Amino acid sequence: MKRVLFALPLMVMASSAFAAGLTVTNHSGLPIDELTVSAAGANAFGANLMDGIKEGALDDGKTVTIAELADGTYDFKISAPDEGVLCTIKDVKVAGAKVELTPEQGKSCK
């Protein structure tokens, strides 16, 4: 019984950390309405991580917290259909549940 009581606070802390998600700051110069991710070079993009987040929430210069993503290197496919944006930003480093998309990365989409 003592083991269960000891583990419970750890489980609550872990679920709180999981709920936090990934903080994305967009300085790419591009609006982002949809974001899908693949392991770098795998070309296996999953579901939209911004599902349920309002349009315009990640326009250039803005920051938003989206679905959880483990630290690592990924390819990000970004889309803003109304503005005609659809491209892939390769080798994006995610660390500490944060990522900042740079102007240089945005130029690779133009």
Name residue, tokens 């944060």.
98
pLDDT in tens, 29-82: 999 999 999 999 999 999 999 999 999 999 999 999 998 899 999 999 999 888
CB of 24 closer than 8 Å to CB of 49 = no
pLDDT in tens, 88-107: 999 999 999 999 999 999 99
pTM: 0.78
Residue 12 pLDDT exceeds 50: no
* Strand order across the 98-101 sheet: 63-66, 22-26, 98-101
Residue 36 structure tokens: 């899908």
